[in-house]
């Protein structure tokens, strides 16, 4: 066997460089335990999936208030300890932009000559920018005579940085509310790479944990398929491919299901029976069209679409691997639907009074 043939049989060495950029400003007082849990679970997801897939995943950790501090640099993710031993909240302001730019600029120094490298930055904050470039004393922009101009300078700086990232770089952020999400979009974070987390409720923290674990799993699995960067880290179904579906799922037999257009807001059982079909618990799958909580036991189906017209062809696929293909963990998780030209995702409902959304379709198993 020639050396060329031997090399061809070697699996390409995939190296993932992940930077976590964590808010430790005064607004995080009271949220530190929640943040530690969210970040630890994200790291756990990276460890488990990297080990399963045989990837090398390296992690860097930054913490910021008005100052930006590197806590860990490009360490094997398997060796990263809990955030509990690394993270403490300070009383400073929030230099969110400066921290984000700093982490990206640092990662640019990593040599990429050998192996296939990919870069992922995830910023976690419960507030908004107010101190980038101000000074080392923690002064906020609104306390400085040139604060407005300084803020605008940093806004332009991060927008230029994010808009010029190579294709194998992904930058994502978790923010506390819809206003912060709009601000993050203005900075240049892709909409599908922005997730809202609620640090003030136990339910919000559990949802955030499910979101980040799902994102970690999806990012690494996409790497196996040759996807090196994404603009939809937190949006489910965006990167689902025909090869994935046809290889791993089973096509439902025509005549054993129907796809029914929903023309009014109706309870799911009433809609099914009104369409002339018997209702059995679990027989109906609603179209995923908005942010939803998906329980661990819920089955998933995908309906094929014509990539030109966008209309569903009538072909439906499902199976135990559907959740895995979409990066859904074996726990309850809140997801945001992504935009996919080839498939639409449907989620099993076990409710009798779930309100259906007009303009969507309902999949009913006969």
Q: What is the pLDDT of residues 132-143, one digit of tens each?
A: 988 777 778 888
CA distance linking residue 118 with residue 341, whole number of Å: 25
The answer to whether residue 4 scores a pLDDT higher than 60 is no
Secondary element (H or E) of residue 317: strand 312-318
> If you ran DSSP here, which 8-state letter would residue 129 be given?
-
Q: Which CA distances in Å does 298 have to 245, 328, 337?
A: 18, 10, 16
Residue 67 near residue 136, CB atoms below 8 Å: yes
Give the per-residue pLDDT at 102.
Answer: 97
The answer to whether residue 1 scores a pLDDT higher than 60 is no
The answer to whether residue 43 scores a pLDDT higher than 90 is yes
Dig out the tokens for 225 from the structure. 């398929």
pLDDT in tens, 263-285: 999 999 999 999 999 999 999 99
Any idea which of 68-77, 156-165, 183-192 has the lowest mean pLDDT? Answer: 183-192
The answer to whether residue 10 scores a pLDDT higher than 80 is no
286 compared with 208, residue with greater pLDDT = 286
Strands 312-318 and 194-196: unpaired
Secondary element (H or E) of residue 308: none
Residue 15 near residue 220, CB atoms below 8 Å: no
* Bridge partners (DSSP) listed for residue 76: 58
Mean pLDDT of the 256-262 span:
96
For 185-215, b/e burial (b = at least 16 CB within 10 A) is eebbbbbbbbbbbbbeeeebbbbbbbbbbbb
Residue 224 near residue 53, CB atoms below 8 Å: yes
Domains of the chain with bracketed CATH: 3-233 (3.40.50.410), 242-365 (no CATH)
Give the per-residue pLDDT at 3.
Answer: 47
Residue 343 near residue 316, CB atoms below 8 Å: no
Q: Tell me what the pLDDT averaged over the chain comes to.
A: 89
CA distance linking residue 312 with residue 315, whole number of Å: 8
Report pTM: 0.75
The answer to whether residue 240 scores a pLDDT higher than 80 is no
Dig out the tokens for 97 from the structure. 């932009």
* Bridge partners (DSSP) listed for residue 284: 349, 364
What residue has token string 């992922």?
Answer: 120
For 285-315, b/e burial (b = at least 16 CB within 10 A) is bbbbeeebebeeebbbbbbbbeeeeeebeee
Mean pLDDT of the 146-173 span:
93
> If you ran DSSP here, which 8-state letter would residue 263 be given?
-
Give the per-residue pLDDT at 178.
Answer: 85
The answer to whether residue 316 scores a pLDDT higher than 80 is yes
Residue 286 near residue 360, CB atoms below 8 Å: yes
Give the per-residue pLDDT at 354.
Answer: 95
Confidence of residue 287 (pLDDT cuts 50, 70, 90): very high
Give the per-residue pLDDT at 11.
Answer: 59
CA distance linking residue 224 with residue 133, whole number of Å: 39
Q: Which CA distances in Å does 259 have to 80, 287, 306, 307, 346?
A: 48, 10, 15, 18, 11
CA distance linking residue 357 with residue 319, whole number of Å: 25
CA distance linking residue 67 with residue 134, whole number of Å: 10
222 backbone dihedrals φ, ψ, rounded to 5°? -65, -35
CA distance linking residue 220 with residue 16, whole number of Å: 8
């Amino acid at each position: 066997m020639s050396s060329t043939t031997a090399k061809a049989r070697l699996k390409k060495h995939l190296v993932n460089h992940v930077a976590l950029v964590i808010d430790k400003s005064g607004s995080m007082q009271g949220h530190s335990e929640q943040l530690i849990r969210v970040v630890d679970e994200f790291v756990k997801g990276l460890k488990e999936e990297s080990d399963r897939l045989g990837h090398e995943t390296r992690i860097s950790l930054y913490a910021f208030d008005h100052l930006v501090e590197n806590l860990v640099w490009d360490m094997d993710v398997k060796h990263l300890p809990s955030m509990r031993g690394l993270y403490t909240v300070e009383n400073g302001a929030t230099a969110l932009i400066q921290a984000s730019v700093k982490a990206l600029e640092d990662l640019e120094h990593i040599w990429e000559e050998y192996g296939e490298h990919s870069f992922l930055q995830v910023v976690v904050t419960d507030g908004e920018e107010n101190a980038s470039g101000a000074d080392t004393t923690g002064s906020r922009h609104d306390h400085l005579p040139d604060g407005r101009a300084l803020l605008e300078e940093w806004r332009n700086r991060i927008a230029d940085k994010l808009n010029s990232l190579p294709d194998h770089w992904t930058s994502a952020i978790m923010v506390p509310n819809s206003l912060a999400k709009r601000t993050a979009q203005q900075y240049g974070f892709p909409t599908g790479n922005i997730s809202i987390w609620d640090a003030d409720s136990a339910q919000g923290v559990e949802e955030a944990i499910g979101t980040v674990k799902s994102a970690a799993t999806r990012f690494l699995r996409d790497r196996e398929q040759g996807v090196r960067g994404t603009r939809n880290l937190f949006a489910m179904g965006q990167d689902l491919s025909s090869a994935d579906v046809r290889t791993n799922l089973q096509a439902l037999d025509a005549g054993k299901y129907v796809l029914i257009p929903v023309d009014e807001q109706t309870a799911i059982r009433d809609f099914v029976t009104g369409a002339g079909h018997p209702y059995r618990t679990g027989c109906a799958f609603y179209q995923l069209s908005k942010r939803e909580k998906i329980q661990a036991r819920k089955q998933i189906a995908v309906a094929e679409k014509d990539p030109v017209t966008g209309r569903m062809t009538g072909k439906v696929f499902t199976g135990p691997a559907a959740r895995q293909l979409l990066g859904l963990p074996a726990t309850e998780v809140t997801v945001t639907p992504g935009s996919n030209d080839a498939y639409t995702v449907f989620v099993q409902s076990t409710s009798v009074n779930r309100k259906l959304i007009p303009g969507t379709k309902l999949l009913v198993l006969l």
